[in-house]
């Protein structure tokens, strides 16, 4: 990758496309600004539209270490930030038992003995016994790093509060040691499937990016990049069907990840085109609830008819455009 890597919105689109991530100018602009302004990015949108994948390909493109924190209910400081390695502390205590006896030798009271031992706390509460978790790993990294805080909406509000210091000043305060500040600011991507609203305090610290379901043209480009063996006709047919399915009132709307899975499933079945039978047999690849499958089956004839109509209208528009160009050329030659 050249020296001009990520130095413009256009170069970002190209670099990501080279890694088979097809993005529009809005996504590329936010990535560009995140790097220039050193601001975290909060990426929201439906599941499966490429939020996590964006962080991964940006890490690859920028040659950054990817540090991932998967959020879940009950995630606490010990799993996200750091924890003390108590077993190692205990082992050192046993090894240094004789030395402790010497320190406490001559102490006349329990209080005095405890005070003498307390003065040695810094030996055991030092970075030697600190186990860094993803947030601290990203802050203390001495090489370029990208911190991915995945599905932050699944964490508790208390976890959000923990993030504020990290995202504001890129520092961590360890009471026994002090404040540890980032040597190099990591690029931070947070993803959310909108299962709950993020706090205003968190949003203020981030650039915002919403990734929605793609347009038909963009989805075809994504499919051709990710599953090129599907071919243009099958890709176009499949995407038109997916676009139609998303208009139904489904419990779980299929996303780009399901489009890719469906294409690979059809190829595994040696399907060269979409017909009623192959669609019905593979609906469970893209629809995750039985109610959604039944609803799609009930609309299948209509969906297939709409796909054919779209093809005809597209062909008609292309023919009209071609005829208009031919007429213009004839007039020009005359």
pLDDT computed for residue 330 by the predictor: 43
Hey, what are 58's tokens?
């940006």
- Per-residue pLDDT tens digits for 227-259: 999 999 999 999 999 999 999 999 999 999 999
Q: Which residues of 128-157 are buried (b: 16+ CB within 10 A; e: fewer)?
A: ebbebbbbbbbbbbeeebbbbbbbbbbbee
CB 81, CB 135: distance < 8 Å:
yes
Nearest to 32 by CA among 59, 53, 60, 13: 13
Q: How far is it, in rounded angstroms, from Cα 228 to Cα 56?
A: 21
pLDDT computed for residue 183 by the predictor: 83
Range with the lowest mean pLDDT among 34-43, 215-224, 308-317? 308-317
Q: How far is it, in rounded angstroms, from Cα 50 to Cα 259?
A: 12
Q: How far is it, in rounded angstroms, from Cα 60 to Cα 142?
A: 17
Percent of the chain residues past pLDDT 90, beyond the cut: 57
Please count the helices (runs of H) and the strands (runs of E) in the chain.
Answer: 17, 9
pLDDT computed for residue 334 by the predictor: 43
- Per-residue pLDDT tens digits for 209-230: 999 999 999 999 999 999 999 9
Burial class from Cβ neighbours inside 10 Å (0-12, 13-18, 19+) for residue 319 reads: exposed
- Per-residue pLDDT tens digits for 86-96: 666 566 566 65
The answer on pLDDT for 108 being more than 80 is no
Query: What mean pLDDT is predicted for residues 290-316?
Result: 76
pLDDT computed for residue 180 by the predictor: 84
Contacts of 188 (CB under 8 A, 6+ apart): 40, 41, 138, 146, 147, 149, 167
| Helix or strand run (H / E) with residue 222 | helix 216-226
Name the CATH code of domain 9-80+133-210 (choices 3.65.10.10, 3.40.50.2300, 3.40.50.300, 3.20.20.70): 3.40.50.300
- Per-residue pLDDT tens digits for 63-94: 999 999 999 999 988 889 888 776 665 665 66
The answer on pLDDT for 321 being more than 60 is no
Q: How far is it, in rounded angstroms, from Cα 155 to Cα 173?
A: 21
Q: How far is it, in rounded angstroms, from Cα 244 to Cα 306?
A: 8
Residue-averaged pLDDT of the chain: 84
Q: How far is it, in rounded angstroms, from Cα 236 to Cα 230?
A: 10
More reliable by pLDDT, 309 or 333: 309
Q: At what angle do helices 25-37 and 51-61 cross, to 10 degrees?
A: 60
Confidence of residue 331 (pLDDT cuts 50, 70, 90): very low
Per DSSP, which regions of the chain are E strands? 41-44, 65-70, 82-84, 130-132, 145-150, 171-174, 178-181, 187-192, 207-210
Q: Domain residues of the chain, as ranges?
A: 9-80+133-210, 87-129, 216-333
CB 226, CB 260: distance < 8 Å:
yes
Q: Specify which of 30-34, 180-184, 306-310, 322-326 reaches the highest per-range mean pLDDT.
A: 30-34
The answer on pLDDT for 14 being more than 80 is yes
């Amino acid at each position: 990758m050249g020296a001009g890597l990520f130095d413009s919105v256009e170069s970002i689109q190209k670099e990501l496309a080279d890694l088979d991530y097809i993005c529009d100018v809005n996504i590329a602009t936010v990535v560009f600004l995140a790097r220039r302004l050193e601001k975290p990015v909060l990426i929201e949108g439906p599941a499966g539209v490429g939020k996590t994948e964006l962080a991964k390909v940006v890490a690859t493109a920028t040659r950054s270490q990817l540090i991932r924190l998967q959020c879940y209910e009950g995630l606490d400081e010990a799993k996200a930030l750091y924890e003390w390695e108590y077993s190692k502390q205990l082992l050192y205590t046993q090894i240094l038992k004789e030395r402790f006896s010497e320190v406490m030798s001559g102490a006349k009271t329990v209080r005095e003995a405890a005070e003498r031992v307390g003065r040695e706390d810094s030996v055991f509460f030092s970075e030697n016994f600190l186990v860094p978790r993803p947030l601290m790993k990203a802050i203390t990294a001495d090489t370029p790093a990208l911190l991915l805080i995945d599905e932050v909406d699944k964490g508790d509000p208390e976890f959000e509060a923990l993030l504020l210091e990290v995202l504001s000043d890129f520092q961590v305060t360890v009471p026994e040691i002090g404040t540890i500040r980032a040597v190099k600011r990591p690029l931070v991507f947070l993803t959310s499937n909108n299962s709950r609203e993020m706090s205003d305090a968190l949003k203020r610290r981030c650039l915002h990016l919403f990734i929605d379901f793609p347009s038909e043209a963009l989805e075809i480009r994504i499919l051709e990049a990710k599953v090129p063996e599907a071919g243009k006709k099958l890709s176009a047919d499949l995407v038109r069907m997916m676009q139609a399915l998303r208009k139904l009132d489904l419990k779980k709307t299929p996303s780009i990840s399901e489009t890719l899975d469906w294409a690979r499933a059809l190829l595994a079945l040696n399907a060269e085109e979409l017909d009623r039978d192959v669609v019905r047999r593979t609906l469970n690849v893209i629809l995750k609830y039985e109610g959604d499958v039944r609803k799609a089956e009930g609309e299948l004839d209509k969906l297939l008819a709409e796909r054919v109509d779209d093809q005809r209208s597209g062909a008609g528009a292309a023919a009209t455009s071609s005829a208009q160009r031919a007429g213009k050329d004839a007039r020009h030659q005359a």
